[in-house]
Structure 1
Amino acid sequence: MISQSSQDGGVRKLQHVEINAIVLYITTFFQSTGASLIWPITTLYMHNVLHKSMTISGIVVMGLSAAMMIGNWFGGKLFDHWNPFRVLAISVGLALITLLCLTFWNSWPVFAIFLLLLGFADGLIYTLLNSYATTIQKIDTRKVFNLQYLFMNVGVVAGTAIVGFLFDHGVQWVFGSASLMYGIFFILVCYYFNVKGLAKQSARAAARASKSNFKTPVVIYAILGLAFSFYMAYILWETVIATHMTDLGMTTKDYSFLWTLNGVVIIFGQGLLDRFIERLPVRWTVLVGSTLFAGSFLVLIQATTYPMFIVSFLILTIGEILASPQIPAWVDDVSDPNAKGHAQGLLTMFVSLGRAIGPLYGGLLIDSGSYKLLFTSVFIIMLFFIILTWLLNNLHKRA
């Protein structure tokens, strides 16, 4: 949305400008749909088709997430100090070109190289979309992130509902469909994200931030650690658990259905939560949701049948509904108001770090230990960060 400058008593006042919320949600949907066609089959493709070990597959996914971290950092810096529209258009264009290349060239090691480029581009995109979301002031910040997360998960439902079918007909169909989604995403960015005055507004905020005496509260680092552990655990469902389920005799379609179920529950759950979100303390939703999320891994330790995997994933999904969309809102609430891009870039970096460490950590523990050891250790790591965040938040409130 664009606002004009106005005159008041001869003094020219600069009014706030922001992205149209509906446009942000629709573009989030197309980006999420495209991404949801890629990540469910990445480890399966490398392990079952390209015949790479779980450790090698974990290293590649770790590299993808490391490239995403670099993109996250650049995305936050460029949003604050350059032109947000230009960097987003370039990022989406790079992702689109990479996906088109993967459609035709997907053997080893070309697959891994293109995956790293895609990770870098998506890292930029995730931070930039979150940073655009922080510009919206006509809607409560928590509702903005809640609705953005809702549309993202509608995309997850759409992508995961068809990825198993597409993968059975050839990986080129998966990458071709993802290219189509990112192509629509690119068109929407070109038409609607060039918000007049936003680049100057970001530059002014960055200038104020450089002179600010704002002291970052310690609790923000605990929240970042919690986000790291949350997504380190989450990516195990996107990677090694797929192989675990197929080793137990379940099919790729069984696995992809879990993500469809996850998305459907999130759509209804987020819609219900949105009605009460302003009444619930953000710390409560994040900490309770993270505790449920961690508890799902205790169920997973004993899971040997498909219904047990469904129960574990449903508990995880309820925790995700409460915690995941509120983590960026909490970070936004306690960070420097003049450095929104930097704060969201830092958060997405820790999210990507968790996604980077998770597959390698999982692969190493599986190859040298067992799935039960992996799931137990993940529960302990998450519980540590939950308790640490709770303690530091209480200290922050008293201060």
Structure 2
Amino acid sequence: MKTWKDIHPISWTIIIGTIFGRMATSMSIPFLAIYLTAVQGASASYAGLVIAASSSVGIIASFYGGFISDKFGRKNMMLVSIFGWMLVFAGFAAASHLWVFFVVNALNGLCKSLFEPASKALLSDMTEEKTRLLVFNLRYAAINIGVVFGPVLGLYFGSSQSTTPFLVPAVIYGMYGVILAIQFKKHPPATLKQSRNMNVREAFMVTQKDRLFTVALIGITLSIFGYSQFSSTFPQYMAQDPFIEDGTKLYGFMLTLNAIVVLATQFPIVYLGKRFSPLCSLMLGNIMISASMMILTMSHGVSSLVIIVVAFTVGEVLLFCMMDLFVDQIAKPGLKGTYFGAIGFSQFGNVIGPWAGGLCIDIFGAGHPSSIFSVLSGITLLGLPFLAFAYRRMKAGITEQQPGLGKPL
């Protein structure tokens, strides 16, 4: 198929590398909190602080990572961050003091925030417009394939009892970096067309004054707020609800079903979704995630849980498969890294969401899912009018005529 042949060799390297990179990360990081509390004797709150360090640093650094990749090139940023990742996981393996884990996981978030915007922008740079949706979704599929196998390997290698398994990700990222460096030498990226005189403040003002982008960013942030509940509030509720028997195992079933549904539905959904604006998919994704939580307020039987996971997963696919395409469409080529970095501010939803979900459980109690998930669903649904406003603005072809914005749509 010609479309697949059009994908650049470096893009294939990033896609395949994403499988192994996410597999390596998910075999180690998800078990870190368990290791810190069970082996290192850390309190649950300190373990949570360590885990939050990665996301917190990532939110702050993501914009700068994207901007720097625009200014100094994708290749340099990607190689520095990926070899930095290798050292980070070696640091996890060598760590013996609690404060070291905090520092190393903060550096983990820094490496991710530098690598992700640069790699997405490079995929866009090296791919024809007609093929970009396919490439972005191959990358998303690669993430999910890695996450399917990573936790199983983490259990096998005992990542919750020892930090020695963290050496495996260190080796994988080292190999990934070497292969990527070879590919860059063999296929040098084209020189970027960008304004290298623009400083970081000016670049930030460009995205801030882009009303279409900032309004959509608010809607996406609230959608991610809802998405975060699946990995934070859902497991706590399942484990604590007195009316659910063996909730922890049921949640494990929900995780497996989530991964299966993602892989089964991703490309059919994208095939249908590409006929419409990415913002239509983002709006529908917001509705599906909100609806999945509303279903939980009415019933929590096994059949209902299956429906909840399917609805949630379809919303997840609609949200994450189209987000990159939306950013790609509205960003000026010379500032694509900056825009992909700026969308990282949406991860505030991932920081606030778990806290809000836990607060709802504390206030209402795990035995009152109707109260807990009505509140969380309602907050998530607040993102819909922002996405709808951005859609109307995009459909009308309204853009601010200022440096850094893409052509009118």
The answer to whether the superposition gives a TM-score over 0.5 is yes
1:392 equivalent to 2:390? Answer: yes
CA distance in 1, matches of 2:50, 2:358: 11
Match of 1:356 among 346, 351, 354: 351
The answer for the alignment partner of 2:3 in structure 1 is none
Deviations 1:108-140 (A, max 9, x none): 333222211111111112222211122133343
Q: Which amino acid aligns with 2:392?
A: N
The answer for the alignment partner of 1:206 in structure 2 is 195
| CA 1:41–1:241: 2 relative to 1, 3 Å | farther
Deviations 1:179-217 (A, max 9, x none): 34323322332222457653x722x32349889998964
Of residues 122-131 and 183-192 in structure 1, the stretch that sits farther from structure 2 once superposed is 183-192
| CA 1:388–1:214: 2 relative to 1, 3 Å | closer
Whether contact under 8 Å (1:214, 1:336) holds in the other structure is no
Match of 1:63 among 37, 50, 53: 53
Deviations 1:217-240 (A, max 9, x none): 422112211222233333333345
1:92 equivalent to 2:82? Answer: yes
Whether contact under 8 Å (1:239, 1:359) holds in the other structure is yes
Q: Which amino acid aligns with 1:386?
A: L
Q: Which runs of 5+ in 2 are unaligned?
A: 1-6, 399-409
**How does the TM-score come out when normalised to structure 1?**
0.81
1:291 equivalent to 2:287? Answer: yes
| CA 1:86–1:78: 2 relative to 1, 3 Å | same
Of residues 148-157 and 245-254 in structure 1, the stretch that sits farther from structure 2 once superposed is 245-254
Q: Which amino acid aligns with 1:361?
A: A
**How does the TM-score come out when normalised to structure 2?**
0.80
| CA 1:319–1:111: 2 relative to 1, 3 Å | same
Match of 1:278 among 271, 274, 278: 274
| CA 1:184–1:233: 2 relative to 1, 3 Å | farther
Aligned length: 380
Aligned pairs for 1:138-149 within 5 A: 138=128, 139-149=130-140
| CA 1:366–1:276: 2 relative to 1, 3 Å | closer
CA distance in 1, matches of 2:39, 2:373: 26
CA apart distance, 1:143: 2.1
1:378 equivalent to 2:376? Answer: yes
CA apart distance, 1:76: 0.4
Whether contact under 8 Å (1:161, 1:260) holds in the other structure is no
Aligned pairs for 1:53-202 within 5 A: 55-105=45-95, 108-138=98-128, 139-167=130-158, 170-172=161-163, 174-194=165-185, 198=189, 201-202=191-192
| CA 1:101–1:20: 2 relative to 1, 3 Å | closer
Match of 1:35 among 25, 43, 56: 25
Of residues 113-122 and 153-162 in structure 1, the stretch that sits farther from structure 2 once superposed is 153-162
Whether contact under 8 Å (1:242, 1:255) holds in the other structure is yes
| CA 1:115–1:342: 2 relative to 1, 3 Å | same
Q: Which runs of 5+ in 1 are unaligned?
A: 1-16
1:325 equivalent to 2:321? Answer: yes
